[in-house]
């Protein structure tokens, strides 16, 4: 029995009571002024019974109405509680979840989706083509069911991501399709970790080959160097420049062989206390600016004292700073900063050069790969080995406005905060 039915019964009962009262009033007005007889007393008793019955009925109806109101209130509270619970689950899911209507306009988007894609809640109600970039935009527009897919994605701010996604129809209780659902996960860190592992395996294999080659070359180079020194003491003056040129090239070859051995068989880190701020300052002061001015701006106030091998970390920082300077032959600025990212320390070295072409970005840490005329192609490979030996990782982001190298080290290495 619902509230409207009870209200109808109340109105009916009230109407009956009014009719009975009017009947007795009219009866008195027509001259029935006789003394009460036994019949009148009987009529009065009947009226009293009707009135009492009416009051009892009204009381029961009000009681039922209160019960129904209570049931309705509890049902609304339960529905509200379920709605809040579902919303909490929706917002707490670590994966991004986006729902679209049949017209592919965004109807819902959880906080993880906003965070991963760098969006704001203002996107709700907008068409998918206004919010998503290629290739997600084309995937959604195609309405193709995908249980599992992976794709590279660049958001509106230019940040590059690697996303694992699933796209499926959104159905109601009856099974009718009312829209589409996109669920995705940020795989960027996982892909970077896999890439680092693959690179480490390749470097290990190449390192073993390099060690053998370097040792085989060092012996004959030592003999050549010895004969060159003897020849320089006995050669006639007109031939002396040629002998000196040979000696210089031998020095270059020795440096290359030394780099080979450093890369192939890196020394085990000797851990100690290293003041990163002082180390970065010293590495910047050793910078060879070349013909054009390169300014180094280092925020040393945020650089902590860490547990590391000072010689190896200095070599890595000096190499990266020198590479940054060489990327700006016409001069520019090198910015060094750091920040905490969760449980990790992130050190960044940024330049204002012309950037690394996208076609070679995946190969910059490979040994023997270089774009320099006299480079050995081992500088960044050695830096990579040093950082990995300290339990960290290194990656690069580049654009036509410059390149940034990010060194990530575990928080456990920090001995004293800046």
pLDDT, tens only, 268-299: 788 899 998 889 888 888 776 666 688 888 88
More confident residue, 404 or 193: 404
Indicate if the pLDDT at residue 4 is higher than 80: no
SS3 for the chain, per residue?
CCHHHHHHHHHHHHHHHHHHHHHHHHHHHCCCCCCCCHHHHHHHHHHHHHHHHHHHHHHHHHHHHHHHHHHHHHHHHHHHHHHHHHHHHHHHCCCEEEEEECCCEEEEECHHHHHHHCCCHHHCCCEHHHHCCCCHHHHHHHCCCEEEEEEEEECCCCCEEEEEEEEEEEECCCCCEEEEEEEEEECHHHHHHHHHHHHHHHHHHHHHHHHHHHHHHHHHHHHHHHHHHHHHHHCCHHHHHHHHHHHHHHHHHHHHHHHHHHHHCCCCCCCEEEEHHHHHHHHHHCCCCCCCCEEEEECHHHCCEEEECHHHHHHHHHHHHHHHHHCCCCCEEEEEEEEEECCEEEEEEEECCCCCCHHHHHHCCCCCCCCCCCCCCCHHHHHHHHHHHCCCEEEEEEECCEEEEEEEEEHHHEEECC
- At the top level of CATH, the class of 93-186 is alpha beta
Confidence of residue 40 (pLDDT cuts 50, 70, 90): low
Query: What pLDDT is stored for residue 367 in this prediction?
Result: 65
Question: Which pTM value belongs to this model?
Answer: 0.49
- Is the separation of the CB atoms in 140 and 104 below 8 Å? yes
Query: What pLDDT is stored for residue 335 in this prediction?
Result: 92
Query: What pLDDT is stored for residue 236 in this prediction?
Result: 78
26-30, 298-302, 365-369: range with lowest mean pLDDT: 26-30
**Average pLDDT of span 208-231:** 72
Q: How far apart are CA 383 and CA 397, in angstroms?
A: 16
Confidence of residue 351 (pLDDT cuts 50, 70, 90): very high
Query: What pLDDT is stored for residue 241 in this prediction?
Result: 83
Query: What pLDDT is stored for residue 406 in this prediction?
Result: 93
Domain segments of the chain as ranges: 3-90, 93-186, 191-265, 271-418
Query: What pLDDT is stored for residue 28 in this prediction?
Result: 59
18-38, pLDDT tens digit by residue?
Answer: 666 666 666 555 554 444 455
Q: How far apart are CA 272 and CA 202, in angstroms?
A: 29
Query: What pLDDT is stored for residue 32 in this prediction?
Result: 46
Residue 238 main-chain phi, psi, to 5 deg: -60, -25
Query: What pLDDT is stored for residue 282 in this prediction?
Result: 86
Indicate if the pLDDT at residue 3 is higher than 60: no
Say which CATH architecture domain 271-418 belongs to.
2-Layer Sandwich (3.30)
Indicate if the pLDDT at residue 354 is higher than 60: yes
Q: How far apart are CA 198 and CA 21, in angstroms?
A: 98
**Average pLDDT of span 228-253:** 80
Query: What pLDDT is stored for residue 252 in this prediction?
Result: 75
Say which CATH architecture domain 191-265 belongs to.
Orthogonal Bundle (1.10)
Indicate if the pLDDT at residue 128 is higher than 50: yes
Region of residue 86 (left: phi > 0; alpha: psi -120 to 50; beta: else): alpha
89-125, pLDDT tens digit by residue?
Answer: 767 778 888 989 999 998 888 888 888 888 877 888 8
Instruction: Confirm whether 93-186 and 191-265 share one CATH topology.
Output: no
Query: What pLDDT is stored for residue 86 in this prediction?
Result: 64
Average pLDDT along the chain:
77
Q: How far apart are CA 128 and CA 136, in angstroms?
A: 9
Long-range contacts of 34-41 (CB under 8 A, 24+ apart): none
**Average pLDDT of span 127-150:** 87
């Amino acid at each position: 029995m619902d509230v409207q039915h009870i209200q109808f019964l109340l109105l009916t009962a009230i109407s009956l009571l009014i009719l009975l009262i009017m009947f007795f009033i009219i009866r008195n007005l027509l001259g029935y002024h006789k003394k009460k007889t036994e019949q009148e007393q009987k009529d009065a008793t009947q009226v009293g019974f009707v009135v009492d019955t009416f009051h009892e009925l009204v009381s029961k109806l009000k009681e039922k109405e209160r019960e129904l109101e209570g049931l309705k209130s509890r049902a609304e509270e339960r529905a509200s509680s379920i709605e809040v619970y579902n919303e909490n689950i929706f917002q707490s899911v670590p994966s991004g979840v986006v729902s679209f209507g049949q017209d592919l306009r965004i109807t819902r988007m959880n906080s993880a989706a906003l965070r991963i894609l760098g969006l704001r809640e203002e996107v709700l109600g907008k068409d998918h083509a206004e919010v998503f970039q290629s290739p997600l935009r084309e995937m959604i527009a195609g309405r193709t069911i995908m249980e599992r897919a992976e794709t590279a994605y660049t958001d509106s701010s230019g940040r590059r991501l690697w996303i694992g996604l699933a796209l499926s129809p959104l159905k109601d209780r009856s099974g009718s399709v009312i829209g589409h659902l996109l669920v995705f996960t940020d795989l960027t860190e996982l892909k970077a970790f896999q890439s680092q592992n693959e690179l480490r395996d390749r470097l290990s294999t190449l390192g073993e080959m390099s060690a053998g080659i370097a040792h085989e070359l060092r012996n004959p180079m030592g003999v050549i160097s010895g004969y060159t020194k003897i020849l320089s003491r006995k050669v006639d003056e007109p031939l002396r420049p040629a002998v000196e040129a040979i000696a210089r090239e031998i020095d270059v070859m020795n440096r290359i062989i030394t780099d080979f051995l450093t890369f192939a068989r890196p020394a085990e880190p000797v851990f100690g206390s290293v003041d990163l701020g002082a180390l970065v300052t010293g590495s910047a002061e050793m910078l060879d600016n070349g013909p054009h001015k390169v300014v180094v701006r280092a925020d040393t106030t945020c650089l902590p004292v860490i547990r590391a091998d000072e010689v190896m970390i200095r070599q890595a920082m000096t190499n990266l700073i020198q590479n940054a300077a060489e990327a700006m032959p016409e001069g520019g600025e090198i910015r060094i900063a750091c920040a905490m990212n969760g449980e990790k320390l992130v050190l960044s070295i940024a330049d204002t050069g012309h950037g690394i072409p996208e076609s070679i970005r995946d190969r910059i840490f490979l040994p023997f790969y270089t774009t320099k005329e006299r480079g050995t192609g081992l500088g960044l490979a050695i830096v990579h080995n040093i950082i990995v030996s300290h339990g960290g990782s290194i990656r690069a982001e580049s654009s036509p406005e410059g390149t940034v190298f990010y060194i990530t080290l575990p928080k456990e290495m920090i001995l004293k905060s800046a």
